[in-house]
Amino acid sequence: MYVCLCHGVTDRDIREAAENGASSVRQLGKELGVGTQCGRCASMARSILKEARSSD
Ligand code: FES
């Protein structure tokens, strides 16, 4: 599922980034561009990140 349409980032990309140590939406923005354009994906990205980090 696409989370960030501006940068074509999927929930899988976010989970992967979380596994590789990304711990904030800001960091996701640096790595994937999430939330750096229109910002609409930020809250969705945050909840996926939170979920990913709590499931390991
Ligand atoms: Fe992610 Fe626009 S959808 S910055």
**Locate tokens 């994937």: which residue?**
32
Give the range of the structural domain holding residue 9, as residue numbers without chain letter: 2-54
Q: For residue 9, how far is its CA from the centre of ligand 1 (angstroms)?
A: 9
- Between strands 9-10 and 2-4, the pairing is antiparallel
Flag whether pLDDT at 56 surpasses 90.
Answer: no
Flag whether pLDDT at 42 surpasses 90.
Answer: yes
The mean pLDDT value for 21-44 works out to 97
CATH code of the domain covering residue 50: 1.10.10.1100
The mean pLDDT value for 22-30 works out to 96
Q: What residue owns the CA closest to ligand 1's atom 3?
A: 4
DSSP symbol at 40: T
Q: How many domains does the chain have?
A: 1
Q: How far apart are CA 45 and CA 41, in angstroms?
A: 6
Flag whether pLDDT at 44 surpasses 70.
Answer: yes
The verdict on the CB of residue 2 being under 6 Å from ligand 1 is no
Flag whether pLDDT at 55 surpasses 90.
Answer: no
